[in-house]
Structure 1
């Protein structure tokens, strides 16, 4: 079996065939799990998967064999379900602590969200989005860390509307934010499929689109098209994507998918932040 023992991860790009082989083995193990709820085994498998996917590699998703592409789609779905269950478990626990907002750091990937929010805020500022009045976050989930970090560290006067399709997720998220009366005034949670939200999208200066909203390429394109149709002219859309091996964890938004948008920035991190960031603007007619 191929192994990594002869590679220096800091300086060498891992050969694609070795990395794909290891990822496929993990996919086989994850597929056999009876439950994706957090447990020692589940946590170990997904931690190993993330570690593999952030290694430097030259993987091009489009050139992979068809069976690997099918396994990748399955893996994205499994990752999405596991991530949702992990967030729900931690958010439920956190909202029962004496000071939920101060206990967000208990979430294992909290530091990654801080780095991602810092990165996204810099990209927005560099493109003239410093103090938006109103922001929407689509796919906020039970632990809306990006919105909370943005609202408390970067956009201290911005109003945030968080949209999620799952009322249970919104219910827990509301309880966490309710522990901070100032933040609660600026942050709302609404249960909607974003495809049903139309004219309201014109209210927002900037819309964030979570990576797992639209897990297939077809679904992602429909959502991008819908948001573009209804968002205001000159408004910004920040969509999360993935590149290389990281695309085994999250869907990709390709530049040619961004029809009728002005593409301002596409940024691919090389540290332990997994998501790429794509900043778009709807042109003014």
Structure 2
């Protein structure tokens, strides 16, 4: 492990130092027998997240191919570990009284609160204040964005949460079932979003989770499919990553979102990981 102290840096850190440390962490993570939450797993991923949120000027596209290959493997490992962490906490919450009042037990809950607040501000500044119906694609067993949005921001909005994993949706349903009024506004649909067509016309805004489409090609296919079937004038909210954060999540650039009107782009500089790109399907097509 690199010996520098993360807390001591206030200015940008040379890319080669960050990349070398990330490679070391990838080696350690890839040797783990399991990615299920444990003291060792949690420590490695916590260190990785802190490393990737340090101020740096890393250009992912400029990295050597062998580093790009490691990045792709690391994103897959992160995705699996994140899913297992969410499943463990969601299963725990589903078995206790008032689980919706204990979401803060999740280790990264604060990040989700900040990200959701930021995303809602961007939406509201562009006229999406209390949408009638939204979709969240890739909601997982613990759809914290939907929970936070529905509780604190979009208090009358109906949420359809899409995930391909029925087991994940089942746990999420159990959490929501603890609140009858909340349950009326929150549905969980087990479908591959590529199989959803006319239904997409119903949504004022569609959120695309960062880990939906693990490769650039796969993600852009999903974006193109959603664009084809969503309603004209509807908003698509895409999570991305920039700089070292792109070792954790796939990247979507503004120019990747062809056929949309670019509304807003935001790249965090604090502990929030995901970038946000908001686009709108034109009302009048060329």
Sort the TM-score into its range (normalised by shorter chain). over 0.9
CA contact (8 A) 1:97 1:103 kept: no
Corresponding position of 1:70 = 69
Corresponding position of 1:57 = 56
2:93 & 2:6 partners in 1: Cα distance?
42
- Structure 2 vs 1, CA of residues 99 and 247 (structure 1 numbering), >3 Å: closer, same or farther? same
Corresponding position of 1:29 = 28
For structure 2, list consecutive stretches of 5 or more residues without a partner in the other structure: none
2:78 & 2:49 partners in 1: Cα distance?
10
The answer as to 2:153 corresponding to 1:154 is yes
The answer as to 2:115 corresponding to 1:112 is no
Corresponding position of 2:170 = 171
Corresponding position of 1:93 = 92
Corresponding position of 1:4 = 4
Corresponding position of 1:219 = 218
Aligned pair count reads 284
Q: CA deviation at 1:8?
A: 3.8
TM-score by length of 1: 0.98
2:7 & 2:104 partners in 1: Cα distance?
33
CA displacement, residues 104-138 of structure 1 (integer Å, 9 cap, x when unaligned): 11101111100000000000011111110000000
For structure 1, list consecutive stretches of 5 or more residues without a partner in the other structure: none
- Structure 2 vs 1, CA of residues 2 and 86 (structure 1 numbering), >3 Å: closer, same or farther? closer
TM-score by length of 2: 0.97
Q: CA deviation at 1:4?
A: 2.6
Corresponding position of 2:182 = 183
1:129 & 1:156 partners in 2: Cα distance?
13
2:129 & 2:29 partners in 1: Cα distance?
42
Show structure 1 runs of 4+ deviating over 2 A: 1-8
CA contact (8 A) 1:161 1:189 kept: yes
Q: CA deviation at 1:2?
A: 6.1
- List aligned pairs for 1:263-278, cutoff 5 A: 263-278=262-277
CA contact (8 A) 1:7 1:14 kept: no
2:147 & 2:20 partners in 1: Cα distance?
38
- State the SS of the aligned residue for 1:36: coil
CA contact (8 A) 1:112 1:272 kept: yes
Corresponding position of 2:282 = 283
1:144 & 1:181 partners in 2: Cα distance?
17
2:22 & 2:100 partners in 1: Cα distance?
36
Corresponding position of 1:245 = 244
Corresponding position of 1:145 = 144
CA contact (8 A) 2:6 2:51 kept: no
- State the SS of the aligned residue for 1:141: coil
- Structure 2 vs 1, CA of residues 7 and 144 (structure 1 numbering), >3 Å: closer, same or farther? closer
1:7 & 1:131 partners in 2: Cα distance?
40
